[in-house]
Amino acid sequence: MVKKGLLERLQEGPVVGDGGYVITLEKRGYVMAGPYTPEVVIEHPEAVKQLHREFMRAGADVLQAFTFYATDDRLSLSGPDAPGNETGKSITCKELNDQACAIVKEVVGDGDVLICGGLSNTPSYAQGKGKAAVQQEFSKQVDSFMEQDVDFLLAEFFGYVEEAEWAIEALKGKGKPVACTLRIGPTGDDSGVSPGECAVRMAKAGADVVGLNCRFDVNTCLKTIKMMKNALEKEGLSPYLMVQPNGYLSPETEQTKNGWGILPEFPFALEPRQMTRFEVNHFVRAAFDLGVRYIGGCCGFEPHHIRAISEELSPERGGKLGEASKKHRPWGGAMKSDQSERAFMNGRDTREYWESVKPALGRPGFPDVQAKLFRQ
């Protein structure tokens, strides 16, 4: 089967991305918080395969090879910046990236799912080593992606648009579509460049798809992507828009540079902030109406969240759904029951019911917080 490429799919309608790997695999006991390096692809490949399968069953059109933080300079980073990181002593960038690509290719098989090779920000940039050194780190990953013949290339989680431009330059000319996302909010990148200017610079650097990922929640990302869209239109530029926010609600971080990283709950006590599937439905519809055509998730987006994206966009995708939707009815549709022992759940099979629910923390000692939630 000849698969349609990313740009062809985006021209026809929305594309559903996958969800978060780092935080989910940390919770499952395969990634160390702090370094956040992906040696799990070597040490426990079955864990990565399983998560890939779950995202694919949920309805994702794309699976990213788990190559986040996988440059040699990142794998070798140690000391105060990466306590506990020993990865670079035994695993090289090439070994890790080759294995990550092989894993996702095995999961996809002959299926109609695109494979993405992604690179992210480098310690070399933060250490001021310059463009040549940074692009040398990128080139090792890109070589693996090209040898493994991934379907498209992604530069993600960049805090500085300058480094993102260098990444796009390293990816262009390989005969693959290039996407690029920044980890920024409305205040702009880490050097103060506005979201609009960032988007214009990424597009002019040659990115086919531009947008946002991680650091900020869905509402903040929607505000920021709108700023990007307006600036692109003013400049007469028309790359596709992409958004993959984190799955934890953190409105108080909107005007910061570090987003959810400043929360006292980060990274080990974020669960009470996690979005419901219904909140994902609303986010997806808002993103699509804004003109975003590549919609997925980053940290905190679990397979059921990706299923919500797939189901919300099913009408725009010709009714396409993932296998996991066979075990789900949107908006509680399968909860309808005439069984007397389940009478207490009557009425929980409608959109109206679930849109009226205000999720509570459910923690003893916080009655005032819960009361305020229910009064909203």
CB burial of residue 282 (10 Å; 0-12, 13-18, 19+): middle
Query: Residue 297: CB partners within 8 Å, gap ≥ 6?
Result: 17, 18, 19, 20, 244, 245, 246, 247, 280, 305, 306, 309
Three-class secondary structure of residue 83 per DSSP: coil
Position 368 pLDDT exceeds 60: no
- pLDDT tens figures, 29-66: 999 999 999 999 999 999 999 999 999 999 999 999 99
- pLDDT tens figures, 120-167: 999 999 999 999 999 999 999 999 999 999 999 999 999 999 999 999
Question: Is 221 a known ligand-binding residue?
Answer: no
Question: Is 298 a known ligand-binding residue?
Answer: yes
Question: Is 214 a known ligand-binding residue?
Answer: yes
CB hemisphere CA count around 317 (13 angstroms): 21
How far, in Å, CA of 61 to CA of 341, rounded? Answer: 40
Contact between 155 and 176 under an 8 Å Cβ cutoff? The reply is no
Between 118-122, 196-200, 300-304, 369-373, the lowest mean confidence (pLDDT) is in 369-373
Closest by CA to 22, choosing from 238, 247, 185, is 247
How far, in Å, CA of 327 to CA of 309, rounded? Answer: 15
Position 83 pLDDT exceeds 80: no
Task: Give the pLDDT score at 360.
Answer: 79
| Token digits of residue 321 | 């759904």
Instruction: Give backbone dihedrals phi and psi of 218, rounded to 5 degrees, phi first.
Output: -65, -40
How far, in Å, CA of 155 to CA of 210, rounded? Answer: 10
Rounded to two decimals, what is the model's pTM? 0.94
The answer for 236, left when phi > 0, alpha when psi is -120 to 50, beta otherwise, is left
Task: Give the pLDDT score at 1.
Answer: 66
